[in-house]
Amino acid sequence: MANLNKVDELIKKVEQSIKSPKKVSASDKLYVGVDLGTAYIVIVVLDENKQPVACEMKFAQVVRDGLVVDFIGATNIVRELKKKLEDKLGFELTKAAIAVPPGTGERDIKTHMYVVEGAGMEVVSVEDEPTAANAVLEVENGVVVDVGGGTTGLSIFENGKVIYTADEATGGTQLSLVVAGAYKIPFEEAEEKKKDIKNQDEIFHIVTPVIQKIGSIVRTHIQGFNVEKIYLVGGTCCLKDFERIIKKETGIETIKPLNPFLVTPLGIAINCASKENV
Ligand SMILES: Nc1ncnc2c1ncn2[C@@H]1O[C@H](COP(=O)(O)OP(=O)(O)OP(=O)(O)O)[C@@H](O)[C@H]1O
Ligand SMILES: [Mg+2]
């Protein structure tokens, strides 16, 4: 794996680019990654040195289990985020990379592409999500686990190559649902409560069983493979002590980068840059 400090430095730059975009000039090539998730649509823009220049995101329920369920809604949001980024940067975004969960069929991949093309960008690369995340992590051996809103996707890497992938329908939405149930509050309120670090000690015991379930999903899938490290990405892993429960459930060293939420979108943008430079 790339040095974790280096990974964290790069993620920190993406975080900074949300509030203060980097200045770019007309001669700069811009690379775009669009992550259409179950919970969030995120766009990351990099310059030609693969350095973060801008990032926009929006909570949206237009994708379910990795499949686009609201085509027009999804296209409108991508268009809106693209426009915001263009206004900030002063330049048009024309090409983008995307990623889909492992095992997504041809037709569903096309739908993802049409969303981004409908919003006015040519799709230059389609990868599976954990592979995209690994453009940031550069894991040679181990499992990358992406715990998003709707699903937990995992890819096992051996000598830098994917040898096994899986995707299961458990994710952050389920954590919010148990919080909503426990406090008798609406889902949206539970979602906010869960994400606020101030509440995460208080809700810990409520969400622990769902995290243990995610840990058992990981344990089941890696059985029979020689996996020595787990690398966590995806918004749900932001939760305080998430990595501790996964380590306890699996007995395997578990590594969580700074802000796992941004790893996959950043990786998709890196893939856009790599595709364009060949
Ligand atoms: N700081 C945080 N603490 C806890 N959970 C968080 C935090 N930030 C985001 N999440 C949760 O992460 C999930 C979204 O993560 P992510 O953006 O990786 O998913 P997605 O890509 O939209 O979904 P999927 O990969 O399942 O299609 C949501 O359930 C959200 O509540
Ligand atoms: Mg995702």
Q: Provide the pLDDT for residue 4.
A: 87
Averaged in consecutive runs of 10 residues, what is the pLDDT profile of the chain (278 residues)? 87 96 88 94 95 96 86 96 96 95 90 96 93 94 94 93 91 96 97 96 96 97 95 96 97 96 97 77
Contact in structure between 128 and 113 (CB atoms under 8 Å) = no
Burial string for 116-149 (b: 16+ CB within 10 Å, else e) reads bbebbbebbbbbbbbbbbbbbbebebbbbbbbbb
Residue nearest to atom 24 of ligand 1 (CA): 148
119 CB-near residues (< 8 Å, 6+ apart): 75, 76, 78, 79, 82
Cα 269 to ligand 2 centroid, rounded to whole Å: 14
Cα 197 to ligand 1 centroid, rounded to whole Å: 14
Measured between alpha carbons, how far is 49 from 28 in angstroms, rounded to an integer? 9
pTM for this prediction: 0.94
**H or E element at residue 247:** helix 242-250
242 lines ligand 1 (CB under 6 A): no
**Residues whose Cβ atom is located within 5 A of ion ligand 2:** 37, 148
First-last CA distance in the chain: 23
Please work out, in degrees rounded to the nearest 5, the angle formed at the alpha carbon of residue 236 by the alpha carbons of 55 and 96. 30
* φ/ψ bin of 176: left (φ > 0), alpha (ψ from -120 to 50), beta (otherwise): alpha
Which single residue is written with the structure tokens 């190559």? 161
CA 261 to ligand 1: nearest atom: 18
148 lines ligand 1 (CB under 6 A): yes
Q: Provide the pLDDT for residue 277.
A: 58
Q: What is the SS3 assignment for 261?
A: helix
Cα 250 to ligand 1 centroid, rounded to whole Å: 22
- Ligand 1: which of 58, 189, 236 to mutate, judged by most atoms within 8 Å of the beta carbon? 236
151 lines ligand 1 (CB under 6 A): yes
38 lines ligand 1 (CB under 6 A): yes
Cα 187 to ligand 1 centroid, rounded to whole Å: 14
CA 40 to ligand 1: nearest atom: 22
Measured between alpha carbons, how far is 127 from 112 in angstroms, rounded to an integer? 12
